[in-house]
Amino acid sequence: MSDLRKPLAVVTGASTGIGYELARCCAENGFDLVVAADEPRIEAAATEFRSLGASVDAVEADLATLDGVETLYAALNGRPIAALLANAGRGLGKSFLDQNLNEALDVVNTNVTGTLALVHKVGRDMLARNEGRILITGSIAGFIPGTFQAVYNGSKAFLDSFSDALRNELKDSEITVTCLMPGPTDTDFFERADLMDTAVGQAKKDDPAKVAKVGFDAMMKGEGDVVAGWKNKLETAVSKVLPHGLLAEQHRKMAEPGSGRG
């Protein structure tokens, strides 16, 4: 059982990558944890978080499904959630018409549907108490038409926009909404998304620990949108002034199959 003297944080996609590092930030800063992922590695991650002094419950669930969201929510046992870090996400490379439709829909269900369902459940509990922090992992990809990552970028555009809207809806409450918008980060995302033969898959990427700390610090300060890394901030600024057609062509150069060095 969680030590009720500590605030409780829920972190999804916490077995690896940015989610793992977000959970580590929470554990190192006085939170107990409920961590979730769709793979058995979440148990090993939970053991590591416990070594940092946190009480940790691990939940293996597919958050692309409403049943998976229900499984995670049931594991909370009605405990008040101080922070929800909705980080679970999935990508998919290649041309949309060459993708398996079920895999493309799984990206939408993980990034959008599952995130909305979890934020809705936990957010309503926070609203009843009028306190809490929500961090949603969006992406700078949401600002760019994602040639050869069309579904992924579209899903992140939704999350970036949704976070802004939810924040404004809650502006008169004591609930904060932060959107972490990383760029390419050194995780297994690119291998899972079948992007290893692309320029972006082979390029140098940001450190997930540094990205997570930027997001965690912003959440604790109650800040809104936060872009990790100066290069990503520059790319985001440029994306606001360039025509979408040009942005789509630039993205093609990064994500087209075979665009890597071989």
Q: How far apart are CA 210 and CA 201, in angstroms?
A: 19
The answer to whether 215 touches 137, Cβ cutoff 8 Å, is: yes
Any residues with CB less than 8 A from the CB of 157 and at least 6 apart, and which? Answer: 141, 142, 143
152 is catalytic: yes
In sequence order, what DSSP letters do the residues of 206-234 get, joined into one string?
B-HHHHHHHHHHHHHHT--EEE-SHHHHH
* Helix axis angle, 17-28 to 208-221, nearest 10°: 50
The single residue of 20, 152, 210, 233 carrying the catalytic annotation is: 152
The single residue of 73, 94, 156, 205 carrying the catalytic annotation is: 156
Q: How far apart are CA 120 and CA 106, in angstroms?
A: 20
Active site residues: 152, 156
